[in-house]
Amino acid sequence: MESATPAQQQQANGGGGSWGAFLKSIASFNGDLASLTAPPFILSSTSLTEFSSYWCEHPSVFAAPAQELDAAKRALLVLKWFLTTLKQQYASRSEQYGNEKKPLNPFLGELFLGKWEDEAGTTELVSEQVSHHPPATAYSITNLPSGVHLEGYNAQKASFSKTINIKQIGHALLTVPNPSGQPDTYLITLPSLHIEGLLFGSPFIELDGTSYITSSTGFTAKVDYSGKGWLSGKKNTFAASLYPTGREKDVLFNIAGQWTKTFEIHSGPAKHNSKDNLVGSWDPDKSPISELIVAPIETQHPLESRRAWAKVAAGIAKGDLDLVGQEKSKIENTQRELRNKEKAEGRQWQRRYFSVPADGRDAALVSLGPVVGLAEHGDADKTGGLWRFDTAKLEQVRSQPPPSEDEAAKIARELLGQ
């Protein structure tokens, strides 16, 4: 990612007034992230539907637990994978720190599809915007050879106190088939975050609070996040422990380090950490990410993110804000009219890959949710539903031929105003 140009820096310092105006608008912020009017240089042409891919940029780490016979070690490998995803999720757009931009706000039904092909075999990604009010994105990632499967959905609740603070709503569920028989289920909660560097016009993310992973095999991992304080501490720091569920003091393994840099895995509690009980480590510089393969824009479905937003992205790349505004309005206005029409006709937009359980309940949330403070209904009121990947829908999509050029043009016209 490029760093701010001198002109941007000047704006950031108040020269163009633009960043100053943005800061003022944040101070009276109503919690709706989509409504933030960010200055042009902070606009990203990447939609939030693409962010689902951050869960799996190291497919072999994602699939590794499926090879492990011991349940505690499987839980440790799941924790390790989760920690390796944090750098991609929260720092990859801002490698130099200070360049976190405002992503595109996905429209209902927007899709982002891709796959990884590497030493872990084929791993498929499906991401769909399943709700617009409130905005929520759902995703499914499956490593085909191992059958390891992740699905989940997320929304954000933002507030302002000194900076923009974001609480993530939603959760992820990981299923790990393994040699010992019954597949394990892991329920994963999502960390809170806040934006640092706002005053200097160089926003970046810091994680805070605690997140959990709890498993059907009886293990729980707790991850505490902290950053650089005034007097001490390093940015992007975490300390994690893995213990039998309900026995937090009986730490089996602990992992500590910086989620953007390296971390070390030790057996037992952190107070005993030494070279003798070091059982593993992670260095992102030694483990390059696997590139996600996305179909060329012309062969994508018209609702696929990069095709749908192509003209907006071109406007952002050229710095042509009139074009950006016009093209965004086409999509937003057409979508608004569609929703009004659906409402008048008592219909609902049919999600392509995800469904909500008919009774609004989910077995994994009922059994594991209480361990990590998640409600049985999965915060459905804040995410438009309790979303689960629907394999019957996947089969149906796969059994149909892709839209012809004429059909694609009709979809783009009717659903996106293009």
**Cβ closer to ligand HC3: 45 or 367?**
45
Q: Which of residues 40-69 bind ligand HC3 (CB under 6 A)?
A: 42, 48, 51, 54
Shortest distance in whole angstroms from residue 45 CB to ligand HC3: 14
Tokens 């050029």 -> residue: 405
Q: Which of residues 116-155 bind ligand HC3 (CB under 6 A)?
A: 154
Q: How many residues bind ligand HC3 (CB under 6 A)?
A: 21
Please give the Cα distance from 8 to 24 (Å, whole number). 18
Per CB under 6 A, does 239 bind ligand HC3?
no
Per CB under 6 A, does 89 bind ligand HC3?
yes
Positive or negative torsion for Cα 123, 303, 171, 165: positive
Could you tell me which residues come within 8 angstroms of residue 3 by beta carbon, excluding any fewer than 6 positions away? 96, 98, 99
| Exposure letters 81-112 (e unless 16+ CB within 10 A, then b) | bbbbbbbbbbbbbbeebbbbbbbbbbbbbbbb
Using CB under 6 A, pick the residue from 60, 165, 168, 281 that binds ligand HC3.
Answer: 168
Could you tell me which residues come within 8 angstroms of residue 6 by beta carbon, excluding any fewer than 6 positions away? none
Dig out the tokens for 28 from the structure: 């009276």
Q: Which stretch binds ligand HC3 (CB under 6 A): 164-172, 210-218, 365-373, 389-397?
A: 164-172
| Nearest by Cα to 156 from 207, 129, 192, 127 | 192
Shortest distance in whole angstroms from residue 166 CB to ligand HC3: 5
Using CB under 6 A, pick the residue from 100, 184, 327, 362 that binds ligand HC3.
Answer: 100
Shortest distance in whole angstroms from residue 170 CB to ligand HC3: 9
Please give the Cα distance from 30 to 133 (Å, whole number). 15
Residue 180 and residue 69 in contact, taking contact as beta carbons nearer than 8 Å: yes
Shortest distance in whole angstroms from residue 96 CB to ligand HC3: 14
Residue 192 and residue 167 in contact, taking contact as beta carbons nearer than 8 Å: yes
Using CB under 6 A, pick the residue from 19, 90, 116, 354 that binds ligand HC3.
Answer: 90
HSE-CB for 88 with a 13 A CA cutoff: 22
**Cβ closer to ligand HC3: 154 or 220?**
154
**Cβ closer to ligand HC3: 77 or 158?**
158
**Cβ closer to ligand HC3: 18 or 216?**
18
Per CB under 6 A, does 211 bind ligand HC3?
no
x-marked contacts with ligand HC3 along 170-209 as a string, rule CB under 6 A? -------------------------x-------x-x----
Strands 135-143 and 149-161: antiparallel
Could you tell me which residues come within 8 angstroms of residue 179 by beta carbon, excluding any fewer than 6 positions away? 67, 69
**Cβ closer to ligand HC3: 28 or 400?**
28
Which residue type occupies 375?
Answer: A
Q: Which stretch binds ligand HC3 (CB under 6 A): 34-42, 258-266, 301-309, 409-417?
A: 34-42
**Cβ closer to ligand HC3: 48 or 368?**
48
**CA distances (Å), 366 to each of 370, 374, 384, 406, in order?**
7, 9, 19, 46
**Cβ count near 199 (within 10 Å):** 12
Shortest distance in whole angstroms from residue 205 CB to ligand HC3: 6
Q: Which stretch binds ligand HC3 (CB under 6 A): 31-39, 226-234, 267-275, 342-350?
A: 31-39
Q: Which stretch binds ligand HC3 (CB under 6 A): 36-44, 175-183, 394-402, 403-411?
A: 36-44
| Nearest by Cα to 39 from 232, 380, 378, 324 | 324
According to DSSP, residue 402 is labeled P
**Cβ closer to ligand HC3: 85 or 217?**
85
Q: Which of residues 292-311 bind ligand HC3 (CB under 6 A)?
A: none
Residue 364 and residue 185 in contact, taking contact as beta carbons nearer than 8 Å: yes
Dig out the tokens for 137 from the structure: 């994105």
**Cβ closer to ligand HC3: 195 or 239?**
195
Shortest distance in whole angstroms from residue 36 CB to ligand HC3: 6
Residues making contact with ligand HC3 (CB under 6 A): 33, 36, 38, 42, 48, 51, 54, 89-90, 100-103, 154, 156, 164, 166, 168, 195, 203, 205
